[in-house]
Structure 1
């Protein structure tokens, strides 16, 4: 069952306050944009397939060192595939994710954006 608009706003507000007030939590969880890119997933899968092939080849020719090398290559391919992209946003940049507007960014915009900004200022005690 989807959340109502009010519940979604409350959840977003709680998330913003958590990111703003708990730096340890933010540093351990990272941000939402740290997902792997399609390119790293494709390259990682190709490397993992080469590793599987080397592992199977090592078993077929009964050479354990080839199998171990194949396993290491396969593990490296998986790590490349799941590694986050290097272009991820900093956790302090919450303005782009619906938080308070970043300094230098206009606080204008739509009526609802202005109302949300006023509400956040009021909640922070900035009359």
Structure 2
């Protein structure tokens, strides 16, 4: 549910006051932009994947098996890193609590399988049914 204009102004006023009183604490609460961090990590993994392909091809051209195998290993590692980073990108507008941010950065786990927790099927059906009933009564 979006905030009203009055609530939005109050929130902005409180943020400005916090920044004025203790800018170090306010910047610690803001934290890093997780979307940018994971996108950057995925991009670097794609670049590493391309370098792995180059190593693989170079090893085949100059008949160096070790270089080809090394290139293949680099490709696999970078593909895994790109996939893992891409899955962990939070949705736009998702607020990640500070404690969960630190847990993600340290353990690499989002606390949810696949980035999104799936509800049991019956619960989803019940919620849909309830919404239809509520919309019909209005």
TM-score bracket for this pair, using the shorter chain length = 0.3 to 0.5
TM-score normalised by L of structure 1: 0.40
TM-score normalised by L of structure 2: 0.37
- Structure with greater helix share of residues: 2
- Of structures 1 and 2, the one with the larger relative CO (CA 8 A, separation 6+) is 1
